Amino acid sequence: MIVVTGGAGFIGSCLVKMLNDKGVHDILIVDALGTTAKWKNLVGKHYLDVVHKSAFHRELLEGEYGAEIEAIFHLGACSATTEQNADYLLENNYRYSRDLAEYAEARNIRFIYASSAATYGAGEAGYSDRSTKNLKPLNMYGYSKQMFDEWVLRSGLESKFVGVKFFNVFGPNEYHKGEMASVIAKSFRQVQETGVIRLFKSYRSDYGDGEQKRDFIYVKDVVETLYAMLCYGEISGIYNLGTGLARSWNDLAHAVFAALELPPKIEYIEMPTSLRSQYQYFTEADMSKFKETRIAKPFTPLEDTVQDYVREYLVKDYAHF
């Protein structure tokens, strides 16, 4: 049995589909559905059961599960970078992860978990996944992920586990995320409703408006990589997962308009004051360590992925998100 925490969420549900496509149905989904629309991400998927994250945690510690678990993809977390409750983030993103990791280590279970590019903060120490030294996350979400990465390293588990520092992932099944959805999904909605894409102004002289850059990666490339990490057990350690090529928000907006076959119309708006001190102007995954593995491959270019996402999913699903 393969456990996927956060299995009804964005990346988790896409991973479940990938596993299904590979003929794997022996999957336990762990999540907290609540009153969100995440349940829609499970429609059409094949799995054994859906267990609430609190119940799974309790049952795990009480010994309800045994040798049937062969791998855990720990993708569940509070991913809101604007979350202010530090105690909640510590409990949900750090302590919960630590309990699952200790369980997996004691039973020699393959453990692949989600870290985040948010651990790099503004990037003063670069974006290399070869060290966690001198990293300064800009928000508590990033710090909670950094805490778990450092615990893995202190515990000597880097040689057994796989940590994945996701950069800017986008794609289908993110519709429930609201304000935390990708700018692509939000831009598509803006075009449909107003004909205009709104981007934040720059507050640094070295970046023009809309020229702030991110490393955008399509969720299809992400889940293919996660599946490969499952298949090749010799792969371990903490890895970046981005394309390794930063692109600007303007590039992204133009790609959305091109996918819709519309002329670009971009408006630059003020960034909320509360975000300005936490804002990353540039992120780009250093993929050199990943390229040394046997699963390394080129990722799909931004324009091609945006076209696929817009035409094959957003246009068809617009009425449902």
Query: Taking a C-beta distance cutoff of 8 angstroms, is the pair 231, 293 a contact?
Result: no
| Catalytic residue set | 141, 177
CA dihedral in degrees (264, 282, 209, 205; nearest 10)?
-160
Contacts of 61 (CB under 8 A, 6+ apart): 99, 103
CA dihedral in degrees (306, 312, 317, 321; nearest 10)?
-20
Pairing, β 247-248 against β 213-214:
antiparallel
Residue 36 pLDDT class (50, 70, 90 cuts): confident
With tokens 């299904």, the residue in question is 20
Res. 321: pLDDT tops 60: no
* Mean pLDDT of the 71-95 span: 89
Res. 41: pLDDT tops 60: yes
Lookup: tokens for 279: 């804002």
pLDDT at position 181 is: 86
Concatenating the DSSP letter of every residue in 138-205 gives SSHHHHHHHHHHHHHHHTT-TTT-EEEEE-EEE-TT-GGGGGGS-HHHHHHHHHHHHS-EEEEPP-ST
Pairing, β 197-200 against β 237-241:
unpaired
Q: Is 3.40.47.10 the CATH number for 2-168+216-241? A: no
Farthest CA pair distance, the chain: 59
CATH code assigned to 171-214+245-284+301-320: 3.90.25.10
Query: Taking a C-beta distance cutoff of 8 angstroms, is the pair 4, 26 a contact?
Result: no
pLDDT, one tens digit per residue, over 282-303 is 999 999 999 999 999 999 999 9
Residue 61 pLDDT class (50, 70, 90 cuts): confident
pLDDT, one tens digit per residue, over 224-253 is 999 999 999 999 999 999 999 999 999 999
Q: CATH topology of 2-168+216-241 equal to that of 171-214+245-284+301-320?
A: no
Percent of the residues in the chain that have a pLDDT greater than 70, as a whole number:
99
pLDDT at position 318 is: 67
Lookup: tokens for 261: 């076959």
Q: Where are the domains of the chain?
A: 2-168+216-241, 171-214+245-284+301-320
Residue 320 pLDDT class (50, 70, 90 cuts): low
* Mean pLDDT of the 178-192 span: 91
d(CA 199, CA 187): 9
- Please tell me which residue, 127 or 64, carries the higher pLDDT value: 127
pLDDT at position 319 is: 56
- Distances in Å between the Cα of 79 and the Cα atoms of 11, 101, 131, 221, 249 are 12, 19, 23, 20, 21
Reported pTM: 0.94
pLDDT at position 278 is: 80
Paired with 170 in beta bridges are 218
| Torsion over CA: 144, 150, 153, 155 (sign) | negative
Residue 83 pLDDT class (50, 70, 90 cuts): confident
Residue 307 C-alpha from the chain's centroid: 20
pLDDT at position 141 is: 93
SS (HEC) of 51-105:
EEHHHHHHHHHCCCCCCCCCEEEECCCCCCCCCCCHHHHHHHHHHHHHHHHHHHH
pLDDT, one tens digit per residue, over 112-170 is 999 999 999 989 899 999 998 889 998 999 999 999 999 999 999 999 999 999 999 99
Res. 81: pLDDT tops 80: no
